[in-house]
Amino acid sequence: MVASGAALALAVSGAPAVADDAAERDPIPVEEIHVSQAGFEFSIDARTLEAEVHSVAAEHIVQDTEGNVLRTGTLDASVDRGPVSTSSNGTQQVGDYTCVVEGNPDSYFFPVAPFDVSFGGNSNFTSYLYHPYVQWYARELVTGELTDQLEICSTGGGDVWNSWRQNFNGTTMTIEEATTYRIGNNWGQGVVENSGLVSATLGFQVQDPRVPVAINGSVTVEPSTDTYTGNLGNEPRYLLDWPVEWQANRVNAFYEAPDTFIWDGSNHFQGNVAHVLYEWVWTNPPNLNYWGGATIRAHCGVSLGLCDPFN
């Protein structure tokens, strides 16, 4: 599934287009940061347990070290829908992941079909999995109203080659609402040195007789001394033009490294895991549109800028 960049207003208008292949093969200035990213809109019906990706668009953006946009271009992005799985692990297009638990209809706990968003170019590739889960009648409020909860587990990452070094790779999710529905979140913090595992767990918030389900997400990366973390709200390294009103429901998780010197960053697979938990009164669900995004940022890692084109 591919949509135009205009469909999602990904980043910056008015910037010149990325140069053609011949011009791209000129030396790449060391002060240039190349960004590949995808943004997508999806819906999840918590009652029918149907999910649909409505649009996805990807973009290549070149910035200077001050964050000014030098030029832009479009990329292809794909969405692969997966079946609802009862297994505990699997293999993405890149990297190994776990983000899967078995549903339990007797407890009104349901997995929703996951999807994978992927994009890349001549010297980079990024892929993130998004796996939603729904808990009906999670708990009773003091008003006597029952709630539903939705958790989305996202895990994945990306890689670079041809002498490029990535300094940022991450996933982000939000809901198209100004009202705050987010009641929980988590992300990977640090990497296990021997195994390269980045992981995070988040459980549903339920009352008896419900049994709380905890979902573990993990991804295997190349261990480094760089940072694996996340944050809430706007994160400027995702160049996604999302309204300010959506930021209260937004969760970000990423790998990050300096980009001061050409040897900074990583020339191996890097990524992270994000969880977000939303809740609403089951008779009054929020707008069912959600938004997600994934971004990789990189710089040329050899002297004189003698790298092949990024895209």
pLDDT in tens, 169-189: 999 999 998 999 999 999 999
Domain of residue 131 covers: 5-21+31-305
Helix (H, G, I), strand (E, B) or coil at 215: strand
Q: What mean pLDDT do residues 265-273 have? A: 97
Distance CA 93, CA 1 (A): 16
Q: Is residue 26 part of a domain?
A: no
Q: Which amino acid is present at 262?
A: I
pLDDT for 287: 66
Q: What is the pTM of this model?
A: 0.87
Distance CA 231, CA 235 (A): 8
Q: Is residue 14 part of a domain?
A: yes
Confidence of residue 92 (pLDDT cuts 50, 70, 90): very low
Cα separation of the two ends of the chain: 20
CB 126 within 8 A of CB 156: yes
Largest CA distance in the chain: 67
Confidence of residue 27 (pLDDT cuts 50, 70, 90): confident
Q: Is residue 311 part of a domain?
A: no
Flag whether pLDDT at 118 surpasses 80: yes
pLDDT for 60: 97
Confidence of residue 22 (pLDDT cuts 50, 70, 90): very low
Nearest CA-CA partner of 154 in 250, 57, 222: 250
Confidence of residue 91 (pLDDT cuts 50, 70, 90): very low
pLDDT for 97: 55
The count of domains in the chain is 1
Flag whether pLDDT at 301 surpasses 60: yes
